[in-house]
């Protein structure tokens, strides 16, 4: 049964958010990028980090969150409501103070999962990442489609408790807010956020049959990041990277046009489950789930830096 038939919050054929997130290429990438950029807000990052029971399994948590968001974005309303209730219950526990100064935020600064400004930043990085990967891997969105996507994201935020009045009212206003935040003084990476955000973006566990694609994955992720984000994370970006990135994304857009809809669109549950299983396999075999990011001394993400965590093949 389709989301439309089941009365989903974002019906197929009528919702731009559904149209964008139904693309498997968007669903596979946007969450990692959103977490990487989202970590630039110390209050968001510390609040999440201090209240998670899954520090040892960050990719299981990422896969679980991605599946929940997919249920709200693409699924029937009953399934979405179960997710929303569970997330609301979790968020009730996310409240505290910064244990130490984080950039412009002094020790003792209050954070709260229901803080409208923090909720807006969470929605903003999701919106920007989904938009970015649709542009890169499917086709450039039209002006009216960007506006429709942002309006749907405001509704998405409201479902999780974000007050509508905190959100910029139009896509241009959203873009001004987002770019202003990234260029402003409030962004800051704690040491833990720098390590975790970089690892989430570039160290995703891949099963052995998927591992040859890791270099492709890493280049797409690296090229998708705004210049200031790469700078803050210490990620090197060269003319050679830029040329390879443009060639790769152009080829992937061409391949997408040749794919049948059934192959290009739909749930990414299989891939989310694969990530969680591979992480579990690594842990069971005594390997840290997040190792130091695959970077050389110059901060360059190597195009050949597939994880070499074990001599035994991963599942």
pLDDT score, position 290 = 64
The phi-psi region of residue 244 (left if phi > 0; otherwise alpha if psi is between -120 and 50; otherwise beta) is: alpha
Give whole-number Cα distances, 271 to 69, 194, 205, 301, in Å.
15, 25, 11, 23
pLDDT score, position 207 = 80
pLDDT score, position 209 = 79
DSSP 313: P
Question: Which candidate, 124, 164, 277, 303, places its Cα nearest to that of 222?
Answer: 303
**Tens digit of pLDDT per residue, the chain (315 long)?**
444 445 799 999 999 999 999 999 999 999 999 999 999 999 999 998 887 766 667 788 888 899 999 999 999 999 999 999 999 999 999 999 999 999 999 999 999 999 999 999 999 999 999 999 999 999 999 999 999 999 999 999 999 999 999 999 999 999 999 999 999 999 999 999 999 999 999 988 888 777 788 999 999 999 999 999 999 999 999 999 999 999 999 999 999 999 998 889 999 888 888 888 888 888 888 876 665 433 333 334 433 333 322 223 344
Whether this prediction's pTM lies above 0.85 is answered by yes
Q: Could you give the CA distance from residue 107 to residue 109 in angstroms, rounded to a whole number?
A: 6
Q: What residues does 111 pair with on adjacent strands?
A: 96
- The strand pair at 95-97 and 110-112 is best described as antiparallel
> 116-137: string of b/e by CB count within 10 Å (b at 16+)?
bebbbbbbbbbbbbbbbbbbbb
Give residue-wise pLDDT tens across range 46-59: 998 887 766 667 78
Which stretches of the chain are DSSP H helices?
16-21, 24-38, 42-50, 58-74, 77-91, 116-137, 143-159, 171-183, 191-202, 214-224, 227-233, 239-258, 261-264, 269-284
Cβ contact 131:82 at 8 Å: no
pLDDT score, position 4 = 43
pLDDT score, position 6 = 54
pLDDT score, position 307 = 30
Q: Show the tokens assigned to 238.
A: 């060269």
Give residue-wise pLDDT tens across range 155-169: 999 999 999 999 999
């Amino acid at each position: 049964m389709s989301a439309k038939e089941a009365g989903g919050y974002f019906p197929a054929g009528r919702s731009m958010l559904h149209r964008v997130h139904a693309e498997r290429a968007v669903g596979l990438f946007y969450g990692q990028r959103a977490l990487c950029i989202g970590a630039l807000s110390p209050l968001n990052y510390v609040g999440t980090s201090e209240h998670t029971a899954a520090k040892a399994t960050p990719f299981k948590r990422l896969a679980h969150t991605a599946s929940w968001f997919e249920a709200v974005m693409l699924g029937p309303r009953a399934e979405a409501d179960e997710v929303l209730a569970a997330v609301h219950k979790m968020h009730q526990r996310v409240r505290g103070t910064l244990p130490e100064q984080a950039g412009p935020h002094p020790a003792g600064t209050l954070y709260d999962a229901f803080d409208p400004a923090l909720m807006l930043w969470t929605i903003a990085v999701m919106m920007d990442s989904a938009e970015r990967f649709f542009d890169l891997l499917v086709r450039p969105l039209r002006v009216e489609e960007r506006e429709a996507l942002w309006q749907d994201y405001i509704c998405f935020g409201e479902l999780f408790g974000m007050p509508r009045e905190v959100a910029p009212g139009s896509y241009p206003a959203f873009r001004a807010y987002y770019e202003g935040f990234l260029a402003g003084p409030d962004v800051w990476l704690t040491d833990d956020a720098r390590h975790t955000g970089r690892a989430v973006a570039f160290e995703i566990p891949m099963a052995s049959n998927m591992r040859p694609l890791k270099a492709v994955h890493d280049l797409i992720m690296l090229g998708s990041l705004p210049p200031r984000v790469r700078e803050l994370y210490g990620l090197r970006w060269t003319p050679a990277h830029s040329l390879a990135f443009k060639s790769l994304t152009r080829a992937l857009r061409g391949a997408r046009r040749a794919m049948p809809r059934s192959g290009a669109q739909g749930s990414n549950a299989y891939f989310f489950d694969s990530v969680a299983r591979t992480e579990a396999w690594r842990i069971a075999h005594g390997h840290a789930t997040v190792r130091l990011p695959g970077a050389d001394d110059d901060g360059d993400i190597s195009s050949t830096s597939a994880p070499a965590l074990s001599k035994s093949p991963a599942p």
